[in-house]
Amino acid sequence: MKEHLGFLKTSSAVVKIAAWISLFLGIVGGVLTFSGRVPNMSNLEGLVNLAVAIFFFFFLYVIAKIADLLVKIIHEIHEIKKA
């Protein structure tokens, strides 16, 4: 299982970056919609866009934190086995 630690660490970093990008794009899209710069979209659609972006941010961030926790658990298991 220790051979998968690099993958878990890398995927955690990639998912965190994707989470922040999702949040940033959602905020930008929401602000542009609220300011009226997006034609044929109501303020409600901008609010839904913002809510979905926030949901995806938390969802992806929790997945990344679970991967980080799994790396720590695997590391601790290997430390206990060595002792």
Would you state the pLDDT for residue 1?
64
> Across 1-83, where does the E strand assignment appear?
none
Buried b (16+ CB within 10 A) or exposed e, 66-79: ebbeebeeeeeeee
Would you state the pLDDT for residue 18?
96
Would you state the pLDDT for residue 67?
93
Would you state the pLDDT for residue 4?
76
Residue 79: both structure tokens together: 């430390």
Q: Domain coordinates of the chain in residue numbers?
A: 2-82
Tens-binned pLDDT, residue by residue, of the chain (83 aa): 667 788 999 999 999 999 999 999 999 999 999 888 988 999 899 999 999 999 999 999 999 999 999 999 998 998 888 87
In Å, how far are 24, 28, 70 from 6, measured between CA atoms? 27, 33, 12
Closest by CA position to 46, among listed 57, 30, 25: 30
